[in-house]
Amino acid sequence: MPERFIFGELLAPITERASRVDSADGDLAPEIEILRKARWLTACLPVSDGGQSWGTEPSGSLVALNALRYLGRANLSVARLFEGHMNAVKLIALYSDDRQRAATFDQVRRGALFGVWGADEPGNPVTMVCEGEKIRLSGAKRFASGLGLVDHAIVIVSDDDDGPYMLLAPTSTRERSDATDWRMAGMRATRSGRYDFNGLVLSADARIGQKGDYLREPHFEGGIWRYCAAHLGGAEVLYKSMLAHLSARGRADHPDQRRRIVDCATALETSRLWLRRCAEKIEARDASSGKSTLALLAREVTENACRTVIEIVDRSLGMAAHEEGSAVERIKRDLALFLCQAAPDAKRERAGRALVAGSGLAETL
């Protein structure tokens, strides 16, 4: 059966609840439970660990891309949490030792949700002090998605210019979580708030990989394709809503509207093709570090496609695009905020430098 039917049926309840959970109190536990029951959390594991290699092995790249895209169509906040889980599982698959891998993947098989928390609270970054066999943390993370839902996060600890450490930490202590600062217009239910690590003591084997592994290419910038797939899903559902709306109002035949429809359709398909190529190349076993430029460019294409769709939907639907409580208005808010992730100017800049240094066409990347 085609993926679109399998995913469509599974994700229908998530789509149906999306407007109800569009608030800072929105509880995404039922959504995560749907994914857990459908074995999406374990699907991210390599096949030899009981998974389907979504995002962890070449054979799972395209299905992972489509899963993120379809989940993005259903609810971008849920897609954000699932992408964080896929990212964490990927980092563990890449860099952990055998014992850490066995223990962590066992937790995934038992249903744990993982995340990656990198953004530090300004003036109070997470730092670590090694005390014999223990690691003592201080400081706090902000924009930590999935407060109250993420069981364990890979916490990024930067202490100098040599690159950061990754620590695997439990993240379900309610008293350490504070989502009150997350007052964003979009992605409300992600509860991307503050988590206080002050005084948390971890065992020395909480450290994943070597210093600097987190930033190692092609998987750091290269991994952008995952959240871009979710972005694309959000833009695709806006496009589909626009078509339905124009047809229902008998306006789809107007030449201006048809031109807009064509502009959206080509932008979306261009992004999908870029992301597909990117996921295949980055996740190939022999991918070189330079392949990450492909992901930086695919991010640019995807952001442009999403912004094109948002603007065209505004023009096509007029006031209906701004009606509070409508799916279109909510998805536009979610997508516009999600596109901020992360530092787009810096990524464009890096892509430009790589193109100048390589002095070739993007097809050679």
Ligand X SMILES: Cc1cc2nc3c(=O)[nH]c(=O)nc-3n(C[C@H](O)[C@H](O)[C@H](O)COP(=O)(O)OP(=O)(O)OC[C@H]3O[C@@H](n4cnc5c(N)ncnc54)[C@H](O)[C@@H]3O)c2cc1C
**List of residues 6+ apart from 201 with CB closer than 8 A:** 134, 135, 136, 137
Provide the minimum distance between the beta carbon of 191 and ligand X in the complex, in angstroms, as a whole number.
Answer: 10
Q: In what order do the strands lie in the sheet with 201-203?
A: 127-131, 134-138, 201-203
Give whichever of 244 and 342 is closer to ligand X, judged by the CB atom.
Answer: 342
Q: Which of 61, 87, 145, 302 binds ligand X (CB under 6 A)?
A: 145
Give whichever of 79 and 246 is closer to ligand X, judged by the CB atom.
Answer: 79
Q: Are 153 and 88 in contact (CB under 8 A)?
A: yes
Provide the minimum distance between the beta carbon of 265 and ligand X in the complex, in angstroms, as a whole number.
Answer: 26
For residues 150 and 168, give the distance between their C-alpha atoms in angstroms, rounded to a whole number: 12
The verdict on 80 binding ligand X (CB under 6 A) reads yes
Q: Which of 111, 163, 344, 352 binds ligand X (CB under 6 A)?
A: 344
Alpha-carbon distances of 258 from 172, 189, 234, 235, 267, rounded to whole Å: 49, 35, 21, 18, 14
β partners of residue 166:
156, 208
For residues 240 and 130, give the distance between their C-alpha atoms in angstroms, rounded to a whole number: 53
Q: In what order do the strands lie in the sheet with 193-196?
A: 140-144, 193-196, 177-178
Q: Which of 119, 261, 320, 355 binds ligand X (CB under 6 A)?
A: 119
The verdict on 177 binding ligand X (CB under 6 A) reads no
Give whichever of 158 and 270 is closer to ligand X, judged by the CB atom.
Answer: 158
Provide the minimum distance between the beta carbon of 329 and ligand X in the complex, in angstroms, as a whole number.
Answer: 17
Provide the minimum distance between the beta carbon of 277 and ligand X in the complex, in angstroms, as a whole number.
Answer: 24
Q: Which of 66, 192, 292, 293 binds ligand X (CB under 6 A)?
A: 192
Burial per residue of 324-361, b for 16 or more beta-carbon CB atoms within 10 angstroms, e otherwise = eebebbbbbbbbbbbbebeeeeebeeebeebbeeeeee
Provide the minimum distance between the beta carbon of 170 and ligand X in the complex, in angstroms, as a whole number.
Answer: 16
Judged by CB under 6 A, the stretch of 63-71, 125-133, 143-151, 245-253 that binds ligand X is 143-151
Q: How many residues bind ligand X (CB under 6 A)?
A: 22
For residues 163 and 185, give the distance between their C-alpha atoms in angstroms, rounded to a whole number: 33
Question: DSSP 3-state assignment of 140?
Answer: strand
Judged by CB under 6 A, the stretch of 113-121, 204-212, 229-237, 248-256 that binds ligand X is 113-121
The verdict on 336 binding ligand X (CB under 6 A) reads no
| Contacts with ligand X, residue ranges (CB under 6 A) | 80, 84, 115, 117-119, 143-145, 187, 190, 192, 337-338, 340-346, 349
